[in-house]
Amino acid sequence: MGPAGLAILLAGLAASGAVALLTHGRVILLVLPLLFAAPLSLWRRR
């Protein structure tokens, strides 16, 4: 995945995070670390 793909992925995560904040409130605080850890672990594996 190149820089463009990574930027799109981060933008998608930020958008979904904002929507989840509006709808779920505190639940997103538990989910956010998972959302960021999964792509990072996949990216490091390459």
Average pLDDT over residues 1-20: 84
Predicted TM-score of the model (pTM):
0.42
Q: Are 32 and 18 within 8 A, CB to CB?
A: no
pLDDT in tens, 11-32: 988 888 788 777 766 776 777 7
Q: Which residue has the higher pLDDT, 27 or 9?
A: 9
pLDDT confidence of residue 28: 66
19: CB partners within 8 A, 6+ apart: none
Q: CB under 8 Å, gap of 24 or more: what pairs does 40-45 form?
A: 43/1, 43/6
pLDDT for position 1: 60
Domain ranges across the chain: 3-45
